[in-house]
Amino acid sequence: MKKAEMKPFKELLLDLRARLRGDVSSLANSALSHGTDTSETGRAPADIADLGNNMLEENNSLLLMDNEEEALQQVEGALERIADGTYGSCVECGSRIPKMRLKAIPYTPYCVKCASELESNRRT
Residues 6+ apart with CB under 8 A from 2: none
Stretch that binds Zn ion, among 5-13, 27-35, 53-61, 108-116 (CB under 5 A): 108-116
Question: Considering the rule CB under 5 A, would residue 92 count as an interface residue with Zn ion?
Answer: yes
Closer residue to Zn ion in complex, CB, 47/92:
92
Stretch that binds Zn ion, among 29-37, 51-59, 80-88, 112-120 (CB under 5 A): 112-120
Question: Considering the rule CB under 5 A, would residue 93 count as an interface residue with Zn ion?
Answer: yes
Residues 20-59 that bind Zn ion (CB under 5 A): none
Residue 108 CB, nearest approach to Zn ion (Å): 10
Closest CA to 3 of 88, 72, 75, 93: 88
Return residues touching Zn ion (CB under 5 A): 90, 92-93, 95, 111, 114
